[in-house]
Chain A
Amino acid sequence: MVRIYVIDNGGQWTHREWRTLRDLDVDTKIVPNTASFEEIIKDNVDGLVLSGGAPRIGLDSNLGNCGEYLEKSVFPILGICAGHQFMARFFGGKVQPSKIPEFGKIELMLLTEDNVLFEGVPKKSIVWESHNDEVTVLPDSFERLGESENCKIQAMKHKKKPFYGLQFHPEVEHTEYGEQIFKNFVNICEKYLV
């Protein structure tokens, strides 16, 4: 059984991430972002989800020990919302308050056709958002996977490491292909199983 933990950055939908993984028969647990990397790898995890949260990454807020996880991990990590923004900043990108924040329903447009995280997801689909900040400058080590009308970096991937970031929320019921995206991430983690 693949083991993916959800790092709790205080998001409203952290528990939904846990539920989605549990429904996919993943061995999962919610862990506060104050846990050290050593505590987490003791359990032989195969992947991490960095949840969203109220901290304003665009205003230089920190996100517990997420930096340590990104520095030390070799297994896949999926950053969502604040988790995604923090990932971008950690690798040298820029996060700023959104000119037009997005809440609720928007259309996601994928920019590549063959990314494993979006396997089975059409070029255009409905996703749900809830953010005040966004990634405005992509780190050099990342590539852009998706955008929306008002936010150019909706999805990104590290060029060499199995690290992904999503500005929208694949864990909520109203995101059309959310479960599919989680399934794909679980597959990515399974492939990393040694």
Chain B
Amino acid sequence: MFDAKKFIRETIPKLQDEIKGKALVAFSGGVDSTVCAVLVNKAIGDRLVAVHVDTGYMRKNEPENVKKTMDELGLNYCFIDAKDEYYKALKGVEDPEKKRKIIGEKFIRIFEKVAEKENVEYLVQGTIAPDWIESGDTLRDTIKSHHNVGGLPSEMKLKLVEPLRDLYKDEVRKVARELGLKVSERQPFPGPGLAIRITGEATPERTEVVREACDIVEKEIENAVKKGLMERPWQYFAVLIPVKTVGVHGDKRAYGYTIAIRAVQSVDAMTCAYSDIPHKILDNISTRIANTLRDKVNRIVYDVTSKPPGTVEWE
């Protein structure tokens, strides 16, 4: 069985051997990168700099939450607002693999800039098993290029350090609990963020819509879980489908986007069953989305696909 204590005990000296100078850790604020940051911090202390990039495709209030987490953990950190840069780079890009690769490369170029300034040689990433499995290799088909593996540019100056490479999410959570981290139970959030929760072009306008819809799905489901009305899903969010349909709002014609509600049960993200959300909760989500995003969205659908054949995220 996986032993989190043993893993921590063995990983810290390995990191001390591996990282000779300064390192930066790509810090998204999720479970994987937070566990990485804490382990490396224990290994090399303040030779570590945490870097958070606000891509513009983050969840509602996420940049503020991440700053708070970095403060609480006592990390050296640097916060980079790259919203406009990302929006510009993804303008007109519709292909999901192209989107992932552009985002992956941008992350690295930003990290390289920070590295040059701070004189850093190593890049620590919270890559876990499904990231490299799904990214494909000489034997394996590419299901999707995870930004931190298949999305990496072929030429990069930083040396990669990936202490969680062989772990799955449930094992990373065990390590997080062992380290006493508050983020241990957070739901996963993909590196490319909301950009892959919009099928097709991820424009700033659509991003604002899906950001709000994701927030509504999260809050309604968390509320229902708290009241004991449903089991907590592994992951739960909204997807914007840029297909417009006709509606009627106050006796007037409406014409807006479609939002899909997605929630799945899983342990390791390698297989997932769609979550059984009670109709009453679906109803609350639907009404709130339609009323909050009234001129943008007038149709809400519920995704009942498992993995396989689907994947958790739509792109």
Contact = CB atoms under 8 A, between A and B. Distances in A.
Interface of A: 8-16, 19, 22-23, 25, 32-33, 53-54, 103-105, 128-130, 169, 172-174
Ranked 10 nearest A-B pairs via Cβ: A10-B139, A103-B309, A54-B141, A104-B306, A172-B271, A103-B308, A10-B140, A130-B308, A173-B267, A174-B271
A129 B307 CA distance: 10
Contacts of A105: 273, 306
Contact of A173 (B139, B140, B270): B270
Contacts of B266: 173
14 contacts: A10-B137, A10-B140, A11-B140, A13-B270, A14-B140, A22-B2, A53-B140, A103-B308, A104-B273, A104-B308, A130-B309, A169-B271, A173-B267, A174-B273
Nearest to A8: B139
Given A16-B268, A103-B309, A130-B308, 10 more contacts: A8-B139, A10-B139, A10-B140, A11-B140, A12-B140, A12-B270, A103-B308, A104-B307, A129-B308, A173-B267
Contacts of A129: 308
Interface size classification for chain B: 20 to 34
Provide the main secondary structure of the chain B interface. Answer: loop
B90 interface: no
B168 A19 contact: yes
A120 to B, nearest CB: 19
Nearest to B141: A54
A54 B136 CA distance: 11
A169 B270 CA distance: 12
Contacts of A128: 271, 308
Contacts, number: 57
Contact of A53 (B129, B139, B273): B139
Contacts of A13: 270
B201 interface: no
Nearest to A23: B1
A12 B134 contact: yes
A36 B287 CA distance: 61
A16 B270 contact: yes
A83 to B, nearest CB: 13
Interface string B1-26: 11000000000000000000000000
A192 B79 CA distance: 58
Contacts of B1: 23, 25
A11 B309 CA distance: 15
B15 to A, nearest CB: 22
A104 B270 contact: no
Contacts of A130: 308-309
Contacts of B309: 103-104, 130
Contacts of B308: 103-104, 128-130
B158 interface: no
A8 B138 CA distance: 11
A15 B137 CA distance: 14
Contacts of A104: 273, 306-309
Given A23-B1, A23-B2, A174-B273, A15 B133 contact: yes
Interface string B245-284: 0000000000000000000001110111100000000000
A186 to B, nearest CB: 14
A105 B273 CA distance: 9
